[in-house]
Structure 1
Amino acid sequence: MKTAYIVKAYRTAIGKAPRGVFRFKRPDELAAETIEYMMEKLPEFDKSRIDDVIVGNAMPEAEQGLNVGRLISLMGLKTKDVAGMTVNRYCASGLETIAIASAKIQSGMADCIIAGGAESMSYIPMGGYKPVPNYELAKEGHEDYYWGMGLTAEAVANQYKVSREDQDEFAYNSHQKAIKAQAENRFQDQIVPITIDETYVDADGKKKTKSYTVTKDEGPRKDTSEAVLNKLRPVFADGGSVTAGNSSQMSDGAAFVMVMSEEMVKELNLEPIARMVSYTAVGVEPRIMGVGPVKAIPKALKQAGIKQDDLALIELNEAFASQSLAVIRELGLNQEVLNVNGGAISMGHPLGCTGAKLSVQIFDEMRKRNLNNKYAMVTMCVGTGQGAAGVYEFLN
């Protein structure tokens, strides 16, 4: 089996949806500009040697429909010669694409693949524009297959006895870690600058355009506190504990990595960043989809031949504080190495982009901490009752 290395990794800043900094930027444009930036870092590289562009997306319709992966390949690489496809495993889509790229290269089917994800929750609502559940399934007692994620978060909070106070404390800590990371400029090396051209009508009724460049994540809030979070009302169930404040933020963003065979890495004299050691996706009860990592993490660790204590860093996607705490407690995860710069509650969760975004973040943090030849994990729950986990070995 061949070895597949990740040699480049970048992401956009993450914007709030639906009225954030990327409300005037299509998701295909966000993705294409991220890939363009990546290619600028390899000025001598022949783009025709890229075998595929694999794009994760959780709501593939409208501005991110029509096999957006192929469109992003055309837009970002400025050539018709490189194929493109779209992958949907909901929140794990971006991580799934990296696993697919690594597996194809390991098998000898490819030598170079760009993989990642893009999502605009400003353009596409949660669930898409026309969700059509199967009535017969619901009638048979499977209505939880179609539950909104907030309802599953309430189910997890109830079943795993995660209190409102603990959820709000977790959410507050997520913001504090993200704010500290921003103050220390811990994200800037990984973020692609994106220019926005905004057209508007001024007070005199004249059409005008202004431009600005986005280089900073929009989600972290300096003004939040546990007292503020405690006052928010539950939004998914009467008497519930899940609020807008202890849930992940709806977001827009894109993130991509370049995966390359060992032979090509040596030929081009590149320094590999990391390699994906293992990846797994599992199924759990849809009504408690948030605990998917409880099942996925041990399986991915077993595949990798390592233990939890071998993980130098963990990115556990904070879909909700309730499910994050349930996973942490069930597996006894070391919170000293978990979400060290905040998570989706503070940073945002652009669905199909998130797995790739967390991968880019963890590579950069491993580099800053000089954790060569150490292991890291990206893991998340996934809608309709799934969990996913990927183990990386950081190399440079």
Structure 2
Amino acid sequence: MDKAINRQQILLQHLNPSLTSSSEQNYNPALSASVCLAGDSASYQRTNLFGDDVVIVAAYRTALCKSKRGGFKDTYPDDLLAPVLRAVIEKTNLNPSEVGDIVVGTVLAPGSQRASECRMAAFYAGFPETVPVRTVNRQCSSGLQAVADVAAAIKAGFYDIGIGAGLESMTSNPMAWEGSVNPRAKQMEQAQNCLLPMGVTSENVAHRFGVTRQEQDQAAAESHRKAAAATASGKFKDEIIPVKTKIVDPKTGDEKPVTISVDDGIRHNTSVSDLAKLKPVFKKDGSTTAGNSSQVSDGAGAVLLMKRSVAMQKGLPILGVFRTFSAVGVDPAIMGVGPAVAIPAAVKAAGLELDDIDLFEINEAFASQFVYCRKKLELDPLKINVNGGAMAIGHPLGATGARCVATLLHEMKRRGKDCRFGVISMCIGTGMGAAAVFERGDRTDELCNARKIDSNNLLSKDAR
């Protein structure tokens, strides 16, 4: 009973505009419950709150390509971001000057350089100088953090329309540490573990929690199989924006114009037996290989968010509703366990249970951590990464969150009425996890305070 009451209270908080996390201790369930039971008169307040929902009206991405040898190896980062920024505006016929902010998740490039590139990309995409741009870096969750930051700003009333995006060119900006490391790190294990190569943390997860090489290779093979099937059936066409670019022949310097519209890291014939032949990369007797790890990639994505009332006024279809976001900290030595902690936190904040979630997009940084999180949370494998994940599609660090939003919401739309809630989550270097809950746009409860009756008994004085 206590669990049910707590869940009701959380759900009711979404209907109370004056209630914030800091005021939860003064929460009056009786008063809030009476509002919900007040009959027709409550619908006036509910209508206002319903319109304050933060919704997604468009979410697109580029194809993801193998860094240094894939389709975007000769593409400037700003030329990756510009097409998806342009797409969310052109496909919705939105006036770009109405956008209150563009927030771009990005990880590897020097901060000032990438900030300038993102501003340049906005101009290339057709945004006027009045629209501001900034970057955000929470490593592998940066793209999702950008979306969450925009949702929070809209909720706070800073503006009504914003774009959360993600960008990474791991060709232009490979993973590397610049400068010296503070010797003090050697005096503190947690600080030292923040510097561990990500592959070593994968080995730590596999060793500590008993994730076998067979399980990891099986997960990788499944990721490629599902991604190949999704590509062949055209599922990704709804979310991928073709990018016109060039391929430069490294021997002759000749440039060839190309249009990139398909993820090029997916291996259609990958099998467990083939993956089993690969040698461990990070530990001599380890289990993490190039085949059961995420692919180093180039790509970008963009998500257009706004208040529901604005979307309705403009007649824009609602792809999804942003419900909750949670970021958590975990042991840096096993950073891959982050989703196992972040997902329950985000789901609980939404007033839901894990069983209420219909689809999960969990970033496959490494098969070891992906398998662990799936088993730890006892999730139905048929609900997770149904179109493949990062081991097949790729993981351009700052863009992954935006890519996952596009993939999740388009799949939820395809599935229709039987798919209401979706979750996106990923682990984060230095020991963190992030997760967000989304609701399908046309699946949100309508205003329904009044129930159907056969007699003439009136529900409230407003019905007279």
Q: Tell me if TM exceeds 0.5.
A: yes
Is 1:15–2:65 an aligned residue pair?
Answer: yes
CA contact under 8 A between 1:13 and 1:216: conserved in structure 2? yes
After TM superposition, the score normalised by the length of structure 2 is 0.81
Is 1:80–2:129 an aligned residue pair?
Answer: yes
CA contact under 8 A between 1:312 and 1:371: conserved in structure 2? no
Helix, strand or coil: the match of 2:321? Answer: strand
Distance in 2, Cα, partners of 1:30 & 1:106: 29
- TM-fit CA distance, 1:135: 2.0
State the match for 1:211 in structure 2.
Answer: 257
> 5 Å matches for 1:265-284?
265-284=311-330
State the match for 2:432 in structure 1.
Answer: 386
Counterpart of 2:109 in structure 1: which amino acid?
A: P
After TM superposition, the score normalised by the length of structure 1 is 0.95
- Unmatched 5+ stretches in structure 1: none
Identity of aligned residues (%): 39
Distance in 2, Cα, partners of 1:226 & 1:289: 26
Counterpart of 2:207 in structure 1: which amino acid?
A: N
Counterpart of 1:6 in structure 2: which amino acid?
A: I
State the match for 1:301 in structure 2.
Answer: 347
State the match for 1:147 in structure 2.
Answer: 196
1:134 is aligned, of 162, 170, 182, to: 182
Distance in 1, Cα, partners of 2:393 & 2:343: 23
Q: Deviations over 1:364-390 (max 9, x none)?
A: 111111147710000010000000000
Counterpart of 1:375 in structure 2: which amino acid?
A: F
> 5 Å matches for 1:12-51?
12-43=62-93, 45-51=94-100
2:285 is aligned, of 225, 239, 256, to: 239
Counterpart of 1:162 in structure 2: which amino acid?
A: V
CA contact under 8 A between 2:96 and 2:127: conserved in structure 1? no
Q: Deviations over 1:131-160 (max 9, x none)?
A: 543221133333211111101000000111
The structure-2 alpha-carbon separation of the partners of 1:229 and 1:328, relative to structure 1 and needing over 3 Å to count, comes to same
State the match for 1:186 in structure 2.
Answer: 235
Helix, strand or coil: the match of 1:91? Answer: helix
Aligned residues: 391
State the match for 1:165 in structure 2.
Answer: 214
Q: Deviations over 1:73-96 (max 9, x none)?
A: 233234211000000000100001
Counterpart of 2:59 in structure 1: which amino acid?
A: A
Single out whichever of 133-142 and 278-287 deviates more from structure 2.
Answer: 133-142
Helix, strand or coil: the match of 1:37? Answer: helix
- TM-fit CA distance, 1:394: 0.7
Q: Deviations over 1:216-243 (max 9, x none)?
A: 1111102321111101110001211100
Helix, strand or coil: the match of 2:235? Answer: coil
Helix, strand or coil: the match of 1:281? Answer: strand
Distance in 1, Cα, partners of 2:250 & 2:69: 17
Helix, strand or coil: the match of 2:364? Answer: coil
Is 1:262–2:281 an aligned residue pair?
Answer: no
Distance in 2, Cα, partners of 1:88 & 1:305: 28
Helix, strand or coil: the match of 1:93? Answer: helix
The structure-2 alpha-carbon separation of the partners of 1:349 and 1:64, relative to structure 1 and needing over 3 Å to count, comes to farther
Single out whichever of 315-324 and 265-274 deviates more from structure 2.
Answer: 265-274
Distance in 2, Cα, partners of 1:372 & 1:108: 33
Structure with the bigger percentage of helix: 2
Counterpart of 2:147 in structure 1: which amino acid?
A: I
Helix, strand or coil: the match of 1:188? Answer: helix
Helix, strand or coil: the match of 2:188? Answer: helix
- Unmatched 5+ stretches in structure 2: 1-16, 18-51, 443-464
State the match for 2:412 in structure 1.
Answer: 366
Q: Deviations over 1:69-123 (max 9, x none)?
A: 4333233234211000000000100001111111111111111101110101111
- TM-fit CA distance, 1:47: 1.4
Report which of the two structures shows the higher radius of gyration computed on alpha carbons.
2
Is 1:121–2:170 an aligned residue pair?
Answer: yes
CA contact under 8 A between 1:68 and 1:85: conserved in structure 2? no
Helix, strand or coil: the match of 2:204? Answer: helix
Q: Deviations over 1:147-202 (max 9, x none)?
A: 11101000000111101111111111111111111111110111001011234488
Counterpart of 1:125 in structure 2: which amino acid?
A: P
Distance in 1, Cα, partners of 2:309 & 2:415: 28
Is 1:226–2:226 an aligned residue pair?
Answer: no
CA contact under 8 A between 1:68 and 1:86: conserved in structure 2? no
The structure-2 alpha-carbon separation of the partners of 1:62 and 1:108, relative to structure 1 and needing over 3 Å to count, comes to closer
Helix, strand or coil: the match of 2:144? Answer: helix
Counterpart of 1:149 in structure 2: which amino acid?
A: M
- TM-fit CA distance, 1:62: 8.2
The structure-2 alpha-carbon separation of the partners of 1:276 and 1:316, relative to structure 1 and needing over 3 Å to count, comes to same
Counterpart of 2:439 in structure 1: which amino acid?
A: E
Structure with the bigger percentage of strand: 1
1:156 is aligned, of 205, 226, 229, to: 205
CA contact under 8 A between 1:98 and 1:115: conserved in structure 2? yes
CA contact under 8 A between 2:73 and 2:247: conserved in structure 1? no
